Amino acid sequence: MEKIYMDNAATTRVTEPVLEAMLPYFCGTFGNPSSIHGFGREAKKALDNARAQVARAMNAEPAEIYFTGCGTESDNWAVRGAAYANIKKGKHLITSQIEHHALINTCGQLEKEGFEVTYLPVDEFGRVDMDALEKAIRPDTTLISVMTANNEVGTIQPIAEIGRIAHEHGVLFHTDAVQAIGSVKIDVKAMNIDMLSLSGHKFHAPKGVGALYVRKGVRLQRLIYGGEQERGQRAGTENMASIVGLGKAIELATENIDAHNAQVSAVRDRLIDRILAEIPYCRLNGHRTDRLPGNCNVSFQFIEGESMLLGLDMQGIAASTGSACASGSLDPSHVLLAMGLPHEIAHGSIRLSVNEENTLEQADKVVDALKQVVDRLRGLSPLYDDFLASQK
């Protein structure tokens, strides 16, 4: 049985060119980049090179890039760091209702510490309401944080516009671009971005390495105290091999963005078009066009997302109900609820996330399998029985 992986929004595999770039930094070039001898200088050179690769991918300066332990750490640092660095100006932050838990739970903790947070509503497609954003800004607002693209439904936000509004009011703007890197073209200068989070494992670098862009002149309180690594802002000896992998992976992802997006969106559209045409009582979640090229999120009435995942898994197909971090909890997705879906529909949702390694043939196999699984589960569903009876 061919295994098909369509959960690339949860994580991606490390590709061969990325692994090859990393391998020398385990056994051969193992020096500590803080050391002044030759071993150290060699490592420092690789560290500088990776920083330049990340900077180039978003039109930033290398000195504006800080390596972190993951996307979650970058989000924590940006939000907490900005909140505390600007505490004299005020204690009000603005974010959206559909952020990743790395953001939502950081804001929740800040509320416990005495900050106030406004969670902006979204429309039925998952787009942040710009009027609500303008109205939410107060004299004591210090930070707006809105994700570039949503991990569950793929909706892309008008980031440049949000950045413009933030700057008109003298407020800092952070964006969680973890899902967007490699799919959405980012220019931190043109898009008025002050801070940007990214994570390696969403674009073929290893798990456990991320970065935070911090515009020159923006002050953050530090998250980790210790040595002078990352210009004294993020202490701890650098994860050299992973950082080298991150640099290589972001270069490959952004160099080939147009070709990848064309190929990925063709596979996604095959999924969406066939599912909507061939399976009754389902709906596409998110925006039809302002969405990530690889995201397909669909709700199926009368059945549960988890049961569909198990059915697909038995056929060797990996999908997700939305957010890997939320699986295991029975609460429906906070993103789908914020978009106005009723609980029972939100429960019947699955996400297929595609990258450039998936093919049209795989999309067809997945839709064929999904049709069987949905048929079988609806055959067992008392809700579907009741619905059919009510139609008579």
Minimum separation from the CB atom of position 334 to ligand PLP (A): 13
Interaction between residue 358 and ligand PLP (CB under 6 A): no
Q: Which stretch binds ligand PLP (CB under 6 A): 172-180, 259-267, 296-304, 372-380?
A: 172-180
Residue 205 found at the interface with ligand PLP (CB under 6 A): no
Distance, CA of 87 to CA of 141 (rounded, Å): 10
CB 224 within 8 A of CB 236: yes
Shortest Å distance, C-beta 145 to ligand PLP:
11
Complex with ligand PLP: residue 128 or 377, whichever CB lies closer: 128
User: In terms of DSSP H, where are the helices of the chain?
Assistant: 16-22, 24-27, 38-56, 71-85, 101-112, 130-136, 159-168, 240-255, 257-278, 305-314, 334-338, 343-347, 360-379, 382-391
27 labelled catalytic: no
Q: Which residue is nearest to ligand PLP (CB)?
A: 71
Pick the piece of the chain touching ligand PLP (CB under 6 A) from 29-37, 69-77, 82-90, 217-225: 69-77
CB contact at 8 A, 96 and 119: yes
Which region, judged by CB under 6 A, interacts with ligand PLP, from 50-58, 105-113, 153-161, 197-205?
197-205
State in angstroms the smallest separation of the CB of 178 from ligand PLP.
4
Query: Which position among 147, 172, 249, 354 is part of the footprint of ligand PLP (CB under 6 A)?
Result: 147
Per DSSP, the three-state class of 371 is helix
Nearer to ligand PLP, 176 or 304 (CB): 176
> Cβ neighbours of residue 246 under 8 Å, at least 6 residues apart?
50, 54, 67, 200, 205, 206, 209, 210, 211
Tokens for 261, please give them. Answer: 């997006």
The C-alpha angle with vertex 125 and arms to 121 and 128, in degrees rounded to 5, equals 35
Residues in contact with ligand PLP, counted by CB under 6 A, come to a total of 15
100 binds ligand PLP (CB under 6 A): yes
Site string for ligand PLP, 31-60 (x = CB under 6 A): ------------------------------
> In the complex, what is the shortest distance from the CB of residue 174 to ligand PLP, in angstroms, rounded to a whole number?
12
Applying CB under 6 A, does 70 fall inside the site for ligand PLP? yes
Looking at the Cβ atoms of 199 and 381, the one nearer to ligand PLP is: 199
112 is written with which tokens? 């416990």
Both tokens assigned to 96: 């959206």
User: Look-up: residue for tokens 């640099």?
Assistant: 247
Per CB under 6 A, the list member of 145, 151, 155, 265 interacting with ligand PLP is: 151
Cα separation of 80 and 197, whole Å? 13
| Binding of ligand PLP by 199 (CB under 6 A) | yes
Q: Which amino acid is at 147?
A: M
CB closer to ligand PLP out of 296 and 373: 296
106 in contact with ligand PLP (CB under 6 A) = no
Q: Does 72 bind ligand PLP (CB under 6 A)?
A: yes
**Closest approach of ligand PLP to the CB of residue 49, in Å:** 22
Measured CA to CA, the distance from residue 87 to residue 185 in angstroms comes to 33
State yes or no: residue 298 binds ligand PLP (CB under 6 A). Answer: no
Instruction: Please give the structure tokens belonging to residue 304.
Output: 């549960």
Secondary structure letter of residue 61 according to DSSP: -
Shortest gap between Cβ of 102 and ligand PLP (angstroms)? 4
- State the DSSP H helix or E strand holding residue 256, giving kind and residue range, or none if neither: none
Of 315, 282, 286, 241, which is closest to residue 384 (Cα–Cα)? 282
210 binds ligand PLP (CB under 6 A): yes
Site residues (vs ligand PLP, CB under 6 A): 70-72, 75, 100, 102, 147, 151, 176, 178-179, 199, 201-202, 210
Q: Which residues does the annotation mark as catalytic?
A: 325
